[in-house]
Amino acid sequence: MADSEMTRHLTADIAQAGAQIEAILQQTRNSSPAASPVRAAVFQQVRHTATIESHWHIAWPAWPPGIRAKIAAALQKITRRLLQWYIDPIVEQQNRFNQTVVNALQLLADDLAALHISGQSPAEARQADIDRLQGQVDALSAQLRDED
């Protein structure tokens, strides 16, 4: 097969597979409540606000113009440095808590989304989990028997 023909075939194959992937991804975005724009926006906001900084920006990214403003900024920086020992541990504690909350929310949202996708009630989902685990136990038992 000539090079150009091979390239044409490859381009067509890639386009075909690409279209299938795009369709799957689009469907995921459209159908899953986990991927709803509202959830996405809320999660983005939650993640964005989860980490707080221990200080405000001073003279950032450039020093302010004028000698008085520069002196004021320098004094603010010194004050901030003097209070650092007191503020930093509190901020760290708050950030750890925030991160735990974000993780917990993510887990809950994933569980809810999984339930919604499967169209099951919580009781049905539990039964499905039990069946799935039973299936795994059966498969592992069979594997053990084979190895014996």
Partner 1 sequence: MRIAFFAVLSPIRSALADYAEGLALAMAQNQDVTIDFFVNDDYRPDNPQILAKFKIYTYHDFAARAARYQSILYWLGDHGRYNGFMLDFIHRYPGVVVLHDLTLHRCVMDVTLNRGDVAAYQAEMRYAYGDVNALEIARRVKTGDGDQLVLDYPLYERVVDSSLGLVVHSEYGRSRILARRPEASARRIPHPFFMPGQTAPLSPESARAQARASLGLPDEALVVGSSGIFVPNKHLGDSLSAFVHILPSHPRSKYILSGFAVPHYNLAAHIEQMGLSPYTMITGWLPPEPFSRQMAAFDVGIHLRYPHIGGVPYTPIRLMGLGVCTIVSDIEPLAELPQGACVKIAPDAYQRDSLRVILTHLADNPDFRRQIARNGQQLIEQNHNLSHIAGQYIQFLADRRR
Interaction site with partner 1 (CB under 8 A): 6-7, 10, 13-22, 24-25, 27-29, 32, 34-35, 39-41, 43-44, 57, 59-63, 110, 113, 132, 135-136, 139-140, 143
Give the shortest CB-132-to-partner 1 separation in angstroms. Answer: 4
Sign of CA dihedral 46, 48, 50, 56: negative
Q: How many CB atoms lie within 10 A of CB 34?
A: 19
CB 60 within 8 A of CB 69: no
Measured from the CB atom, is 39 or 120 closer to partner 1? 39
Burial environment of residue 58 by CB neighbours within 10 A (0 to 12, 13 to 18, 19 or more): middle
Give the shortest CB-10-to-partner 1 separation in angstroms. Answer: 5
Measured from the CB atom, is 118 or 121 closer to partner 1? 118
Give the shortest CB-121-to-partner 1 separation in angstroms. Answer: 19
CB 54 within 8 A of CB 88: yes
